[in-house]
Amino acid sequence: MKAVNITFKFQDGQPAQTHVAAEGESVLDVALNNDIQLQHNCGGVCGCSTCHVYIVAGEQDLPEISDAEEDFIDRAENPRINSRLGCQCVVQGNADVVVLIPPQHFLGH
Ligand code: FES
């Protein structure tokens, strides 16, 4: 199984962390497995916008964005051109990924 590194950066100023992600794991999976707070109100099925992240590098290793994902990103706080939903960012194991995590408020949908 291929593996890559995911580096998590944080808008709230916490130090960055780098963790190994196996092919088939999502950014959300790797965050939760390493006690990184990332909301996931729908449980990771592309049914909310709470796992919103910004992809700083490595987007070429991630699946194409779906229409459903785009719709939910439109409802996220401060969406940008590099916005994705962490649960939909399943690594393929070819390129390291750098993710910026927005502040987590633990409310909203
Ligand atoms: S956890 Fe709901 S869309 Fe990712």
pLDDT in tens, 30-81: 999 999 999 999 999 999 999 999 999 999 999 999 999 999 999 999 999 9
Distance from the CA of 42 to the center of ligand 1, in angstroms? Answer: 5
Averaged pLDDT score across all residues of the chain: 95
What the block records as the tokens of 25 is 């794991």
Cβ(99)–Cβ(61) below 8 Å? no
Question: Using a 6 Å CB cutoff, which residues line ligand 1?
Answer: 40-42, 44, 46-48, 50-51, 72, 85, 87
Q: How many whole angstroms from 61 Cα to the centroid of ligand 1? A: 19
Task: Determine contact, residues 20/67, Cβ cutoff 8 Å.
Answer: no
**Residue of the CA atom closest to atom 3 of ligand 1:** 46
Phi/psi region, residue 90 (left: phi>0; alpha: psi -120 to 50; beta: rest), is beta
Please state, for a pLDDT cut of 70, what percent of the chain lies above it.
Answer: 96
- In the numeric block, the tokens 């940008």 are attached to 80
Fold of 38-103: Ubiquitin-like (UB roll) (3.10.20)
Residue 48: the pLDDT is: 97
List the 17-22 sheet strands across, edge first: 17-22, 3-10, 97-101, 52-57, 83-85
Q: How confident is the model at residue 106 (pLDDT cuts 50, 70, 90)?
A: low
Which burial class, exposed, middle or buried, applies to 95 when counting CB atoms under 10 A from its CB (0-12, 13-18, 19+)? Answer: middle
Return the ligand 1 atom nearest residue 72 CA. 3
